[in-house]
A and B are shown apart, each in its own frame.
Chain A
Amino acid sequence: MTDPTQIADIKIPPIRNGTVIDHIANGQALNVLKILGVNESNIDSTISIGMHVPTHKGTAKWKDVVKLEDRELDPDSVDKIALIAPDATIAIIRDFYVAEKYQVQLGDRVVGLVRCSNPNCITNKGEPVTPEFYVEGRNPPRLRCVYCDRMLSKISDNLL
């Protein structure tokens, strides 16, 4: 477990309480916040974002990291992060130490988070319908539209 005084990889000061989302795919930190619905108007503590941080885990050279102070994310709400950052880990920090840690994991379906990339799909035609996808692969995430049956081509470009 990390000694808070030894957090070498990050030029972000340690937090006392909150959530660390680590091992986010390079460049996806802002999308992670978007998916979580976290923005400056609905949070009253500090959000620190590390982008293009060196990493040695797996084959990636760079990663993004997000730290939310005084906020604990529950597993259900964070699983959707797996859409754009399937390797992300969530660490709940209490009194400077990692109290809980888990890996994000998509369920069997994704409802309402992304739109279908097929312009001819009925879900893109002004109908009262929530886009829905079957999860056919997790890393990388592969989604198939429940309606038009097409594979979603680029998830991060189609976030709602």
Chain B
Amino acid sequence: MDFYDKDLVSIRDLDREKIEYILDLSKKMVPYARGEKVKRALDGKILGNLFFEPSTRTKLSFESAAHRLGCDVIDVSEMSMTSISKGENLADTIRMVDAYCDAIVLRHPYEGAARLAADVSENPVINAGDGAGSHPTQTLLDLFTMREAKGSLDGLNVVLVGDLKYGRTVHSLAEALTMFGVRLTLVAPESLQMPQDIVDRLRNKGCNPKKTTVLEDAIPQADVLYVTRIQKERFPDPAEYQKIAGTYRIDNSILRSAKSDMIVMHPLPRVNEIATEVDSTPHARYFQQAFNGVPVRMAILCSIMGGKIDD
């Protein structure tokens, strides 16, 4: 498969076949991600972890993924913070880091930063989130989590709930899901519904999402309930925020109408979108989802940096 030396900037760089390749390889990576098997497939390689924005989870899982494959990591987060404050532009920072490693993982506050980095870097760039922009490795690990739980993505009933307007993660996820003939339901307050241009794009890909403001209505048919955080900052009026946040909170009572094998996902960290009582139900899949960041990122690093895993 054609990943070697290629950038991964947006999920849209991948078609269904490529996504499935990564998901299959991720599956093979699971025992290695757990440390049950060891293979230094990227021995002697160096990954540059360039985080201009704090993101503990993503950064740690990339580090863990690299180490599990025997790949060294240079962590340039602090240096990059200083270069941003010294006013060095991103293009120059990338050229410099590019010279010190074999692939770059970039997290940056500005949208489109990863595309720019990919333009200037000789080595492949993996987008680990650019502002409200795309975050393709998150999308891949979400898809992997669904597929592992359900056996297949085809024809699933997926309900996305929360902030569907600003949360770019759900935009890429929704778009990727259209490749698998998924039925989508979008649950959000009117003011946080998915933007029309994204919905149009889903339609163009043959998916006609249902929109609703009522979470209860969407639960019974759901195979997957994907919850995202509604941020306080989005609401000028704190009382309005409290009301909305309360309406879209997942707890055991709302899950009573759910199918027994329905799974609840969340990109984490959660604040109080999901009550902790849900954690011990068979529905909860968000911690598994967080773990899946490691095998999926191992599969991505391995494919892009030219490692081989034979099971």
Contacts and interface: CB of A to CB of B under 8 A. Distances in A.
A120 B115 contact: no
Nearest to B113: A122
Interface in A17-46: none
B111 A121 contact: yes
Contact of B133 (A123, A126, A146, A149): A149
A125 B87 CA distance: 11
A30 B45 CA distance: 56
Contact of A148 (B90, B133, B197): B133
Contacts of A118: 111
Given A122-B110, A126-B89, A149 B134 contact: yes
A155 interface: no
A122 B197 CA distance: 21
A68 B86 CA distance: 49
B10 A122 contact: no
A116 B133 CA distance: 14
A4 to B, nearest CB: 46
Interface in A115-160: 116, 118, 120-123, 125-129, 145-151
Contacts of B90: 122, 125, 127
Given A120-B131, A149-B133, A127 B111 contact: no
B111 A149 contact: yes
Contact of B111 (A126, A129, A150): A150
Nearest to B108: A122
Contacts of A121: 110-112
A140 to B, nearest CB: 13
B13 to A, nearest CB: 12
Interface residues of B, number: 19
Contacts of A151: 197
A30 to B, nearest CB: 29
B79 interface: no
B96 interface: no
**A contacts with B: majority SS:** loop
B60 interface: no
Contacts of A125: 90, 110
B91 A128 contact: yes
B97 to A, nearest CB: 15
A122 B132 contact: no
A87 to B, nearest CB: 23
Interface string B112-147: 110110010000000000111110000000000000
Contacts of B111: 118, 120-122, 147-150
A150 B195 CA distance: 11
Contacts of A122: 90, 108, 110-113, 115-116, 130
A145 B111 CA distance: 10
A129 B116 contact: yes
Given A120-B110, A120-B131, A121-B110, A147 B115 contact: yes
A-B residue pairs, 3 tightest by C-beta: A147-B112, A148-B111, A148-B112
Interface of B: 10, 89-91, 108-113, 115-116, 119, 130-134, 197
Interface of A: 116, 118, 120-123, 125-129, 145-151
23 contacts: A116-B112, A120-B110, A120-B111, A120-B131, A120-B132, A121-B112, A122-B112, A122-B113, A122-B116, A123-B112, A125-B110, A127-B91, A129-B116, A129-B119, A147-B111, A147-B116, A148-B110, A148-B111, A148-B112, A149-B111, A149-B133, A149-B134, A151-B197
